[in-house]
């Protein structure tokens, strides 16, 4: 496909089209479908269900096995409120990561009319993805699961059933942060519970029988240890990528930056929005429930298949 004044190439890497300055056509908010984002992937849905199940299991063990039977009212109240509050933040971050468009490039926008609207300079080369027939902005990569090109795609995470990209990286970072915090909290509570129960010979430390309580606590410790290790590493990796303005795909492919890097605090402000504040760690920030419900009533979810 060729047009006068510019050339179009069917390649996937090193696009020349800048996603902030030159790509402002069909991706504008007024032209996006009035639908929420959702990926219909069997493996991703199973992983998302497992994630929710394990968090709710941890909440059940912490609340009903360890805290409610406690004789110390303030110990149970403070730890119960803190753990459940952090669990709500973690699950909210998970939902927002899963249901937020990560930065998908509109399908099939590589048309003559759209390219003419870009007002390209003579001889300038732009790049088209041969898989979804879209013009690729700079730093965009095609995801075979989402079946779309994603701006600043870091990776596709089955545990959130979505790509981590330009628009939802903040929520993914918050998800890993809150999961690592509640995992550490659960491990500390479990350790204190074991110490107390051994001291009292398991007679009054839980409403469950000693064998049942031990099994529940052991599974909780194993889960918390695995979650803490995985999410802490992911959180550190994401913060490192943001501070260096380099996605995981770009790092693995050793791509040389053709863009002006936003490093350290500038990169953090770009991802989390504005100056440092409590909004950075708030997964509810920017959520418009009324607008979301109206979009759902109008057209349901946008399935990227």
The widest CA-to-CA distance across the chain, in whole angstroms, is 84
Give the number of other CB atoms < 10 A from CB of residue 143: 23
Residue 143 is a catalytic residue = no
**Beta-bridge partners for 163:** 156
Angle, CA of 210, 214 and 219, to the nearest 5°: 155
Do the beta carbons of residue 146 and residue 162 sit within 8 Å?
yes
Of 259, 181, 195, 153, give the one whose Cα is nearest residue 66. 195
Rounded to an integer, what distance in angstroms lies between the CA atom of residue 113 and that of residue 3?
Answer: 10
Between the alpha carbon of residue 131 and those of residues 110, 125, 183, 210, the distances in Å are 12, 19, 40, 58
Cα first-last separation, the chain: 25
- C-alpha closest to that of 174 among 235, 225, 224: 235
- Dump the DSSP string for 84-95: HHHHHHHHHHHH
**Catalytic entry in 143, 146, 149, 157:** 157
Q: Which residues are catalytic?
A: 157
């Amino acid at each position: 496909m060729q047009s006068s004044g510019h050339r179009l190439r069917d390649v996937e890497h090193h696009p020349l089209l800048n996603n902030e300055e030159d790509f402002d056509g069909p991706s504008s908010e007024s032209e996006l479908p009035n639908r929420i984002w959702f990926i219909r992937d069997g493996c991703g849905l199973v992983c998302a269900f497992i994630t929710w199940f394990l968090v709710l299991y941890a909440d059940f063990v912490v609340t009903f096995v360890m805290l409610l039977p406690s004789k110390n009212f303030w110990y149970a109240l403070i730890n119960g409120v803190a753990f459940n509050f952090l669990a709500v933040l973690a699950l909210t971050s998970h939902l927002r990561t899963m249901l937020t468009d990560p930065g998908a490039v509109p399908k099939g926008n590589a048309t003559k009319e759209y390219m003419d609207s870009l007002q390209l300079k003579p001889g300038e080369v732009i790049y088209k993805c041969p898989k979804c027939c879209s013009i690729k902005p700079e730093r965009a990569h095609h995801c075979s699961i989402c079946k779309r090109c994603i701006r600043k795609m870091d990776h596709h995470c089955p545990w959130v059933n979505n790509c981590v990209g330009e628009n939802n990286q903040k929520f993914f970072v918050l998800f890993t942060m809150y999961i690592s915090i509640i995992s550490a909290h659960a491990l500390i509570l479990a350790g204190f519970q074991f110490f107390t129960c051994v001291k009292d010979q398991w007679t009054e430390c839980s409403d469950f029988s000693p064998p049942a309580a031990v099994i529940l606590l052991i599974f909780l410790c194993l889960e918390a240890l695995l979650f803490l290790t995985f999410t802490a590493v992911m959180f550190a990796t994401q913060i490192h990528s943001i501070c260096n303005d380099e996605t995981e795909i770009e790092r693995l492919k050793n791509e040389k930056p053709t863009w002006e890097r936003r490093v350290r605090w500038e990169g953090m402000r770009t991802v989390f929005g504005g100056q440092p504040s409590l909004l950075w760690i708030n997964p509810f920030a920017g959520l418009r429930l009324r607008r979301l419900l109206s979009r759902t009533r109008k057209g349901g979810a946008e399935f990227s298949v």
